[in-house]
Amino acid sequence: MVSMDLATAVKSYQFGEHAKSELIMVSQLSMALTGFSPQERGGGKKMLLMTMETVRSELLFAHRSTGQSQFQKAVNSLNEAISLVESNQPEQAAEKIAGAISAATTSAQEAWQVLSEHGLL
């Protein structure tokens, strides 16, 4: 049984689902970068990094707002992915992003369980 108050469960569910969607998008963009021409790759990399940093900020906000450790785990995975993209390794970054997706999904699932037990979902 997951121990979480209802307010935290609502926030965690909302943040988790939102983060999961954004992380899936970032993963797809990371993989798309591998198909860019050399002339396009630099600009694509900059845009991808900006997007990743925005998602990281949102994950940090979710962690601060809820105290849920899964959001910090997602941040840690995303930090590794950012480093890999900066090192021109977007394929390997997608693997780290998958870890962030898993962490966000776990947070949302735990929150869903609490909300469901209270008849709110």
pLDDT in tens, 82-107: 999 999 999 999 999 999 999 999 99
Percent of the chain with pLDDT over 90: 93
Average pLDDT over residues 70-92: 97
Residue 41 lies in a domain: yes
Residue 84 lies in a domain: yes
Number of domains in the chain: 1
Q: Mean pLDDT score of the chain, rounded to an integer?
A: 95
Which residues constitute the domain of residue 66? Answer: 6-117
- For residue 1, name the pLDDT band (cuts at 50, 70, 90): low
Residue 1 lies in a domain: no
Q: What is the DSSP code string of 66-120? A: H--HHHHHHHHHHHHHHHHHHTT-HHHHHHHHHHHHHHHHHHHHHHHHHHHHTT-
CATH at residue 100: 1.20.120
